Structure 1
Amino acid sequence: MRRMREEPRESPFLIRRMTREDLPAVMELEKASFTNPWSYELLQRELGHDWSVIFLAEESLPEGDRRLLGISIFWIVHDEVHVLNVATAPEHRRRGVGRQLMEATLAEGRARKCSLATLEVRKSNEPAIHLYKSFGFRPVGVRPNYYVDAGQPPEDAIVMVLDF
């Protein structure tokens, strides 16, 4: 039986805003996570927009360094959070990194008085769809042939919405 509310637990991950110094590590994560990763220039441009937020999920290492585990890129426009990109390094998936990033993303939207969150997700990305549904997102439409990767057939995106 699933409990409706769980007690908040201490996170093993540090969630923080990205800085320009993080660009090389974020580029490596993008390349490892996607066949069509965001470019260095695009990420750098996102850092300069007032409406754009990039969160990083990291964990501390024994020697005092930190390891990048995942990222969340989203816009806050008027009263809407629009999630553009959520990525977890392949070797760190199934550890709750994506969930922690989504919790932080939605908390930022609530703190900024947003009333709605939207996103697109690949129709074939069942783990992501399951994650988003667990937050209360619901499918509201389809964007045909939204994802176009070289050498691959186009893939539809499912548009999902969450009301705060």
Structure 2
Amino acid sequence: MRRLRDDGTPDKGKGFLIRQMTVDDMPAVMALEKASFKNPWSTELLGRELQHDWSTILLVEEPLPEGGVALLGLAIFWIVHDEVHVLNVATAPVHRRRGVARTVMEEVLRRGVARRCSLATLEVRRGNESALNLYRSLGFRPVGIRPNYYVDEGEDAIVMVLDF
């Protein structure tokens, strides 16, 4: 995990900025979803996640030389009781292999530890080797399979768990 600064906030690391999504971010987030997935989340679904107290959507951004920021990735997760449940992690295709997903996942896990969670769970496509490798490197272990979880593609999900 990334080190915390003295004031308790995470270091930016790699020049990435992490912040919570707002309604104003919806167009950029929808563009990222559409670029990242065959079956992206809908505006309605994302909007509902923004309204739940237990749900958080973190955005990973990078300052642009000409000013402003570029949206590189995101993570959507719930903290319910003592569990972090990761629902979605996306990285813009042009920014993959730069540590974006690792950076946002480390922040998700840091927030779970700060809230005294005892475990983190997620589902990942059986065929998504890069995601499986990332999650394994963060300490997640496979504990089961959800057959045909991704119905549109007929792909199974591997259920993974990390004990804090």
Q: TM-score, normalised by structure 2?
A: 0.92
- Of 128, 137, 140 in structure 2, the residue corresponding to residue 137 of structure 1 is 140
Task: After TM superposition, give the deviation of residue 83 of structure 1 in Å.
Answer: 0.2
Task: After TM superposition, give the deviation of residue 11 of structure 1 in Å.
Answer: 3.0
Match of 1:122?
125
Gap regions ≥5 residues in structure 2: 5-10
Gap regions ≥5 residues in structure 1: none
In 2, Cα distance between equivalents of 1:92 and 1:6: 20
Q: TM-score, normalised by structure 1?
A: 0.92
Match of 1:87?
90
Deviations 1:102-132 (A, max 9, x none): 0000001111110100000000000000000
Deviations 1:45-74 (A, max 9, x none): 100000000000000001220000000000
In 1, Cα distance between equivalents of 2:88 and 2:70: 19
In 1, Cα distance between equivalents of 2:112 and 2:67: 31
Question: Do 2:2 and 2:106's aligned partners in 1 also have CA atoms closer than 8 Å?
Answer: no
Task: After TM superposition, give the deviation of residue 98 of structure 1 in Å.
Answer: 0.4
Q: Does 1:44 align with 2:47?
A: yes
Instruction: Output the aligned Cα RMSD.
Output: 1.6
Task: After TM superposition, give the deviation of residue 6 of structure 1 in Å.
Answer: 9.2
Deviations 1:75-104 (A, max 9, x none): 000000000000000000000000001000
